[in-house]
Amino acid sequence: MESSRRVGIVEISGKSGRVRTPGTETVTPFPDGFLWGAATAGHQVEGGNVNADLWPLEWAENSTFNEPSGDACDHYHRYPEDIAMLAELGFTAYRFSLEWSRIEPEPGYFSRAALDHYRRMMECCLNSGVTPVVTYNHFTLPRWMAGEGGWAADSSPERFGIYASRVTEHLGDVLSWVCTLNEPNLMAMLATTGVLAMGAGERQSAPGPPGTRSPGVGGFDPTRYRMGLIAADVERMAAVHRSAREAIGSVAPHVKVGWTLALIDLQPAPGGESRWKAARERGQTDWLTVSRDDDFVGVQTYSRSLIGPDGNVPPPEEVPTMQTRWEVYPEALGHTVRLAAEHAQVPVLVTENGMATDDDEARIAYTRRALEGLADCIDDGVDVRGYMHWTLLDNFEWNAGYSITFGLVSVDRETFARTVKPSARWLGQVASTNALE
Ligand code: BGC
């Protein structure tokens, strides 16, 4: 359908939405109210997250972590300057996560101080014209929850529902977007493709030999434990998600609720068609279908993976890769947004996309191409509500520690001083004009 809309001083017409300004530049506008943000996760930036399940794993003998998270970016204390910086750069949204282990450090005990802290963060966003997009769980669990068996414990849907309900009672009036779980399909992706979507660096997360350290606080043995995601099958994680969604809906029905999924762009290599089909189903589309009852689905993508008859086929030597050794493949964004829209049949929010590199020009080039693909989806009628870049700050990249840099802003590891990279200014400009030039 032909349409015509005005963006700034430029008249846009035609399905493509692309126009020539009076100069020669092509301008690609995004829909009114489109959210432009950057994303972080509590454990990766806050620092001192000592009650989380991963903390003892980071310090264990034979740890699979290259280094511990420690003080991270001290975002727990420095969030006012970080949010002010985000707003000044031109962003209109900030995706961050709540740390369950701070809010509920013992089962059933809720810390009012921690809840107040996150409330202040949200108010800080709103006072700066930034919409908070809040993730209730981004991988880390309280140690006691890990002790119960993490998500594999039969109590997990109820436990998460109680937490979600208490959090929403405290924050509901300032909330508008909630991601219940971050990438609950991550372990399914690993099982079906051998590819893990996190910057895992050299030491992929095989647990150390049993008995190398005494059992951790909270009754779980860090040497036998890997993330909170063990035994995370779609039925269990869907039950956990629904339990939170119902809790949120009954306390604050105005809040838009969804979950975010790890959507590596899976493609078949010669001979790998049946394996690819199975991987896509079990790792992605089975999970996307769960989103049909939600208000949106969060798409998180970085690269593609070719699936051959024996599993993941690593990119050939000559193909440019990121620090994580994933292929530089920004087309993944457009492809996976289409996949998500087709199977979830709800609006899409891009909740993570970015490039691990120390070459900031390459980050800009990658992001530009990814956004071009996203604009094409929108032109084709896909309902996309926003784009959150991963990530705001160079942060703790899980097993890889601080060596991998996805950030728009670098952080001095001694002083915590922030330095804005050109990519942050570039993307902030896109955000403030709501258009790609
Ligand atoms: C996770 C982030 C992570 C990013 C890059 C995603 O899987 O949600 O926490 O840092 O990928 O590795």
Secondary structure string (H, E, C) spanning 316-374 = CCCCCECCCCCECCCCHHHHHHHHHHHHHCCCEEEEECCCCCCCHHHHHHHHHHHHHHH
Q: How confident is the model at residue 246 (pLDDT cuts 50, 70, 90)?
A: very high
Residue 18 has a pLDDT of: 57
Tell me the average pLDDT across 214-227. 46
In the chain, the percentage of residues whose pLDDT exceeds 70 is 85
Tell which atom from ligand 1 comes closest to the C-alpha of 404: 12
Tell which atom from ligand 1 comes closest to the C-alpha of 262: 7
Give the pLDDT confidence of 322-340 residue by residue, as tens digits.
999 999 999 999 999 999 9
Residue closest via CA to ligand 1's atom 12 equals: 198
CB-ligand 1 contact for 262 (6 Å cutoff)? yes
Q: What's the whole-number average pLDDT of the chain?
A: 89
**Contact between 167 and 121 (Cβ < 8 Å):** no
> How many whole angstroms from 20 Cα to the centroid of ligand 1?
37
> Measured between alpha carbons, how far is 212 from 173 in angstroms, rounded to an integer?
47
Q: Is the pTM of this model over 0.85?
A: yes
CB-ligand 1 contact for 198 (6 Å cutoff)? yes
In the chain, the percentage of residues whose pLDDT exceeds 90 is 78
Give the pLDDT confidence of 259-286 residue by residue, as tens digits.
999 999 999 999 999 999 999 999 999 9
- Listing from the earlier edge strand, what are the strands of the sheet with 19-20? 19-20, 26-29, 435-436
CB-ligand 1 contact for 199 (6 Å cutoff)? yes
User: What is the three-class DSSP state of 298?
Assistant: strand
Tell me the average pLDDT across 34-42. 98
Question: Candidates 69, 133, 198, 323: which one to mutate for ligand 1, based on the most atoms within 8 Å of Cβ?
Answer: 198
Residue 10 has pLDDT above 50, yes or no: no
> How many whole angstroms from 165 Cα to the centroid of ligand 1?
26
Tell which atom from ligand 1 comes closest to the C-alpha of 197: 7
Three-state secondary structure along 246-275? Answer: HHHHHHCCCCEEEEEEECCEEEECCCCHHH
Question: Candidates 352, 391, 393, 405: which one to mutate for ligand 1, based on the most atoms within 8 Å of Cβ?
Answer: 352
Which two three-digit tokens encode residue 119?
A: 């409330």
Residues in the chain: 437
CB-ligand 1 contact for 322 (6 Å cutoff)? no
Give the pLDDT confidence of 408-421 residue by residue, as tens digits.
999 999 999 999 99
Burial 75-92 (b: 16+ CB within 10 A, else e): bbebbeebbebbbebbbb
Distances (CA, A) of 402 to 44, 273, 349, 359, 397: 10, 37, 27, 16, 6
Q: How confident is the model at residue 2 (pLDDT cuts 50, 70, 90)?
A: very low
Tell me the average pLDDT across 136-143. 95
Residue 312 has pLDDT above 80, yes or no: yes
Distances (CA, A) of 193 to 190, 267, 268, 275, 309: 5, 11, 11, 9, 11
- Backbone torsion region of residue 74, taken as left when φ is above 0, otherwise alpha when ψ lies between -120 and 50, otherwise beta: left
Give the pLDDT confidence of 344-369 residue by residue, as tens digits.
999 999 999 999 999 999 999 999 99
391 preceded by a cis bond (ω within 30 of 0): yes
> Measured between alpha carbons, how far is 437 from 345 in angstroms, rounded to an integer?
30
Range in 5-14, 26-35, 136-145, 319-328 with the lowest mean pLDDT: 5-14
Q: Is 383 exposed, middle or buried (0-12, 13-18, 19+ CB in 10 A)?
A: middle
Q: How confident is the model at residue 190 (pLDDT cuts 50, 70, 90)?
A: confident
CB-ligand 1 contact for 197 (6 Å cutoff)? yes
CB-ligand 1 contact for 394 (6 Å cutoff)? no
Question: Candidates 229, 353, 398: which one to mutate for ligand 1, based on the most atoms within 8 Å of Cβ?
Answer: 398
CB-ligand 1 contact for 237 (6 Å cutoff)? no
Give the pLDDT confidence of 232-242 residue by residue, as tens digits.
689 999 999 99
Residue 197 has a pLDDT of: 52
Which two three-digit tokens encode residue 70?
A: 């420690």
